C-alpha cells in the first residue's frame, strides 16, 4: 500500500474518530440520563479559631467588634448548604458549582488581623463579665424582696442558673483567649466542612459519603466514597452545564414526569426564584434549596411545593433553623447578624411570636411570650445594666409584677387628718388599740391568698407638714399613740412650689423624729402641668428637692426617703442626677402590679380599710420579708 493511501486512510479514521468524539461529548444529555445522575450536595460547615488541637467555633464576625456567637461545640455554630451536582463517571466522580462551598467569611483574610480580632473579642468578654456582676447583684435583690408564691419566682431561679451557666462559658472563653493572646502566631483560622451527597433512589433519598473534596472559584468536585448507587447513571457530556437541566414547569407534561424514576433537578420560577433539589413531577418535594429573587435562601424539606419539615432560612447575615409548615417556620432557632440568638416559635419565618427565649449579644436575656416580634404577656428579663424584671409585658414595655398578697408580708398605713373623719366627713377619733387591716382596697384587682384579709399594722407613716403653712393638727397626738403601741413611725412632708429653704425650716420646726424611727419622707407628686407652671423644668424642681433632702439629712442625721409614683419615676426621676436617684424610695402604684423600682415601701391602695379607722386608708407594704423588715429597723437604731 503506497504512502499516500495510508495517510489518506489514517486521516479519514482520525476525522471519523474526532467527529464521533465530538458528537459523543456534544450530544445533548438525555432527560433519562441526567435524572439518574443528578445529586443534591449537602455541605455542613462552620468557622473556627484553632490553636493546637482545640477549636473555638463562631457564628458571626464583624471587623469592628471581633467574633460573636462563640462555642467549643461545633453543632452550636454549624451551617448547612445545599446545591446541585452530577455524577460524572461510572466510578462515582462528582462535579458541581462552586456555590456549594461559598463562604460568607473570608477566613484566610482573618490571619493578618488575628491580634486585633483577639483584642476586640477579649474586650467584649470583659463587658459580658461586668454585665454578669450587675445581673447577679440584681438577682440577689430580687431574691431578697420576693416570695416563693410570687408569679415567676421559680422561673427567675432558672434564669439565675442560666446566667451562671453563661458565666462558666465566659470563663472558658476568656481562658482560651488569654492563651491565644500570648501566642497569636499559632492561631489558625479554619473553614470546616463535611460534604455528602443526597441521591433520589427508587426507595427514597439516600445520603452518600464523599471524599476528595476539591473546589475553586468556579467548580466543585469530589468522589462518592462507595462508588455509584446501583441504579445511578453518569454524564459524559464535557459541555454539560447544570443550568441545562432547569425545567419550566409550564412546559412539562406532568403525567410523563410523574411516571418516571424519582429524580432531582432545577426549576426556574416566574418570580425569578430558582429551586434546586428533589422533585415530584415539577413540584419541589423532598430535600432542596430555593434561592429567591430577594437573595434569601430556604434549604431543607419540601412537601408539594411548600417548605415543610426541618429546614433553614438565610436572610442576609441572619439565619433561621427549625420546623416549617405552609411556607412559614413554626418553631426553631434564629441567629441574627448582630450576634443575638432566639429560640422559640415564630410568625412569618423570622418574627418571634408565642413562647421564646431571646439571648442578646450583650448578655441580656428575655424568657417569655411574644406577639409580632415584641414582648407581650408574661416574661422575665435580665439585662447588662442589672435590671431583673419578671411579670407582665405590653407592647414591649414592662407593666409590673402580679404578686400574691398574704399574711406573710409586712403591711403598714399612712395617715393624715382625713383619718379623723367619718365616711360622712364628721370628726372622730382613731381607736388605736383595735388597728387591724381588713381590706387591701376594692377599686383595683389584687391576688390575695386568704379568703379574709386580717393583717396586723406593722408601721405607720404620718403627715407632718405641707409647703410652708400647713401643719397636721393631729400629728402630735397621733405620734404619741403610735409610739405607745410600739409601732415604727415615720413623718412626711408634702412638697410644694414654695422655696425649698422655707419648706425645710417649716418641717424641722414641727417634725418629731427620734433615733430608730422610720426615715423622714419627702412626698413629691406634682403633675406635668404643675412642674411646668411652678418650676419650668425638671432640673429646677430637682434642685429644690435636693436642697430639702440634704437639709433634712444634715439636721436629723438620717437619709430621707423620697415618695413618688411609678409614672413620676419613668418620666421624670429617670432623668435626674445620680445624686438624687441614689435616695431610697417609697413608691405609689395603685392597681394589680407592684411598682418596678428599688424601694423600701410601696403604696398599693388608697381605698383600704382598717379596724379602728372609719374612713378609707392608704395601705402600704414593706419590700421584703418579716425578717428583712426587722433587719431594716435594726439598721435605723
In this prediction, residues 382-399 reach a mean pLDDT of: 92
All 3 cell numbers of residue 345? 416559635
Domain 404-636 sits in CATH at: 3.20.20.80
Q: Is the pLDDT of residue 444 over 90?
A: no
What is the widest separation between alpha-carbon atoms in the chain? 146
User: How is 347-408 classified by DSSP, letter by letter?
Assistant: ETTTEEEEEEEEE-TTS-EEEEEEETTEEEEEEEEE-TTS-EEEEEEETTEEEEEE-EE-TT
pLDDT digits (tens, 9 = 90+) for 24-57: 556 677 777 888 899 989 999 999 999 999 999 9
All 3 cell numbers of residue 219? 467548580
21 against 109, higher pLDDT: 109
Three state DSSP letters for 214-246: EECCCEEEEEECCCCCCCCCCCCCCCCCHHHHE
How far is residue 100's CA from residue 221's CA, in Å, rounded to a whole number? 10
Could you tell me the pLDDT band of residue 205, with boundaries at 50, 70 and 90?
confident
Contact 481, 432 (CB under 8 A): yes
DSSP-derived secondary structure letter, 265: E
User: How is 529-598 classified by DSSP, letter by letter?
Assistant: HHHHHHTSSHHHHHHHHHHHHHHHHHHHSSPPEEEEEHHHHHHTGGGS-HHHHTS-EEEE--SSEE--S-
Q: Is the pLDDT of residue 416 over 70?
A: yes
Looking at the chain, the whole-number percentage of residues with pLDDT higher than 70 is 94
Label residue 537 exposed, middle or buried (CB < 10 Å: 0-12, 13-18, 19+).
Answer: exposed
Q: What is the dihedral of CA 171, 174, 180, 181, to 10 degrees?
A: -140
In this prediction, residues 441-460 reach a mean pLDDT of: 92
Three state DSSP letters for 101-120: HCCCCCHHHHHHHHHHHHHH
Compute CA distances 507 → 464, 491, 521, whole Å: 7, 10, 11
Contact 14, 154 (CB under 8 A): no
Mark residue 275 as left, alpha or beta (left: phi above 0; alpha: psi -120 to 50; beta: remaining).
beta
pLDDT digits (tens, 9 = 90+) for 93-144: 999 888 888 888 999 899 999 999 999 999 999 999 999 999 999 999 999 9
pTM comes to: 0.82
Could you tell me the pLDDT band of residue 222, with boundaries at 50, 70 and 90?
very high
Positive or negative torsion for Cα 186, 191, 194, 195: negative
Closest CA to 312 of 359, 357, 272, 349: 349
Provide the mean pLDDT of the chain: 90
pLDDT digits (tens, 9 = 90+) for 257-270: 555 566 888 888 87
Amino acid at each position: 500500500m503506497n504512502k499516500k493511501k495510508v495517510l489518506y486512510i489514517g486521516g479519514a479514521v482520525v476525522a471519523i474518530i474526532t467527529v464521533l468524539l465530538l458528537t459523543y461529548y456534544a450530544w445533548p444529555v438525555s432527560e433519562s440520563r441526567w435524572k439518574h445522575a443528578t445529586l443534591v450536595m449537602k455541605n455542613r460547615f462552620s468557622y473556627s479559631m484553632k490553636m493546637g488541637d482545640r477549636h473555638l467555633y463562631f457564628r458571626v464576625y464583624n471587623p469592628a467588634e471581633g467574633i460573636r456567637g462563640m462555642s467549643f461545640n461545633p453543632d452550636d455554630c454549624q451551617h448547612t448548604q445545599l446545591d446541585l451536582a452530577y455524577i460524572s463517571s461510572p466510578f462515582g466522580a462528582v462535579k458541581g458549582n462552586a456555590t456549594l462551598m461559598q463562604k460568607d467569611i473570608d477566613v484566610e483574610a482573618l490571619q493578618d488581623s488575628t491580634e486585633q480580632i483577639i483584642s476586640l473579642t477579649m474586650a467584649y468578654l470583659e463587658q459580658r463579665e461586668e454585665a454578669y456582676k450587675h445581673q447577679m447583684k440584681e438577682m440577689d435583690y430580687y431574691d431578697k424582696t420576693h416570695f416563693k408564691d410570687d408569679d415567676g419566682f421559680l422561673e427567675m431561679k432558672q434564669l439565675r442558673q442560666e446566667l451562671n451557666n453563661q458565666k462558666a462559658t465566659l470563663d472558658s472563653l476568656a481562658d482560651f483567649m488569654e492563651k491565644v493572646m500570648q501566642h497569636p502566631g499559632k492561631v489558625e483560622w479554619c473553614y470546616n466542612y463535611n460534604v455528602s451527597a443526597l441521591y433520589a433512589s427508587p426507595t427514597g433519598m439516600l445520603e452518600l459519603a464523599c471524599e476528595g473534596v476539591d473546589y475553586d472559584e468556579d467548580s466543585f468536585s469530589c468522589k462518592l466514597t462507595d462508588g455509584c448507587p446501583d441504579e445511578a447513571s453518569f454524564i459524559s457530556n464535557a459541555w454539560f452545564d447544570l443550568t441545562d437541566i432547569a425545567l419550566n414547569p409550564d412546559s412539562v407534561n406532568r403525567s410523563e414526569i410523574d411516571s418516571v424514576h424519582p429524580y432531582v433537578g432545577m426549576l426556574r420560577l416566574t418570580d425569578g426564584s430558582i429551586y434546586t433539589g428533589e422533585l415530584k413531577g415539577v413540584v419541589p418535594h423532598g430535600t432542596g434549596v430555593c434561592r429567591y429573587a430577594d437573595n434569601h435562601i430556604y434549604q431543607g424539606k419540601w412537601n408539594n411545593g411548600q417548605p415543610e419539615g426541618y429546614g433553614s432560612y438565610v436572610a442576609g447575615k441572619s439565619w433561621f433553623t427549625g420546623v416549617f409548615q405552609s411556607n412559614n417556620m413554626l418553631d426553631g432557632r434564629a441567629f441574627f447578624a448582630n450576634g443575638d440568638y432566639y429560640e422559640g416559635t415564630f410568625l412569618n419565618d423570622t418574627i418571634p411570636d408565642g413562647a421564646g427565649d431571646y439571648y442578646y449579644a450583650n448578655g441580656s436575656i428575655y424568657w417569655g411570650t411574644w406577639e409580632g416580634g415584641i414582648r407581650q404577656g408574661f416574661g422575665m428579663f435580665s439585662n447588662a445594666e442589672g435590671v431583673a424584671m419578671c411579670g407582665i409585658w405590653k407592647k414591649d414595655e414592662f407593666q409590673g409584677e402580679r404578686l400574691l398578697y398574704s399574711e406573710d408580708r409586712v403591711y403598714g398605713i399612712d395617715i393624715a387628718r382625713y383619718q379623723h373623719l367619718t365616711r360622712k366627713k364628721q370628726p372622730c377619733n382613731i381607736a388605736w388599740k383595735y388597728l387591724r387591716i381588713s381590706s387591701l382596697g376594692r377599686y383595683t384587682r389584687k391576688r390575695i391568698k386568704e379568703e379574709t384579709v386580717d393583717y396586723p399594722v406593722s408601721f405607720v407613716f404620718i403627715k407632718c407638714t405641707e409647703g410652708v403653712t400647713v401643719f397636721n393638727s393631729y400629728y402630735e397626738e397621733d405620734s404619741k399613740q403610735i409610739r405607745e403601741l410600739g409601732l415604727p413611725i415615720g413623718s412626711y412632708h408634702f412638697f410644694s412650689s414654695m422655696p425649698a429653704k422655707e419648706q425645710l425650716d417649716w418641717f424641722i420646726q414641727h417634725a418629731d423624729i427620734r433615733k430608730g424611727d422610720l426615715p423622714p419622707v419627702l412626698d413629691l407628686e406634682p403633675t406635668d402641668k404643675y412642674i411646668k407652671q411652678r418650676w419650668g423644668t425638671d432640673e429646677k424642681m430637682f434642685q429644690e428637692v435636693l436642697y430639702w433632702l440634704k437639709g433634712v439629712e444634715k439636721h436629723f442625721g438620717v437619709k430621707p426617703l423620697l415618695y413618688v409614683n411609678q409614672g413620676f419615676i419613668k418620666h421624670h426621676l429617670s432623668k435626674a442626677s445620680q445624686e438624687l436617684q441614689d435616695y431610697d424610695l417609697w413608691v405609689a402604684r395603685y392597681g394589680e402590679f407592684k411598682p418596678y423600682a428599688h424601694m423600701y415601701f410601696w403604696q398599693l391602695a388608697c381605698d383600704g380599710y382598717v379596724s379602728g379607722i372609719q374612713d378609707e386608708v392608704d395601705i402600704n407594704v414593706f419590700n421584703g420579708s418579716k425578717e428583712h423588715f426587722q433587719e431594716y429597723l435594726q439598721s435605723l437604731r
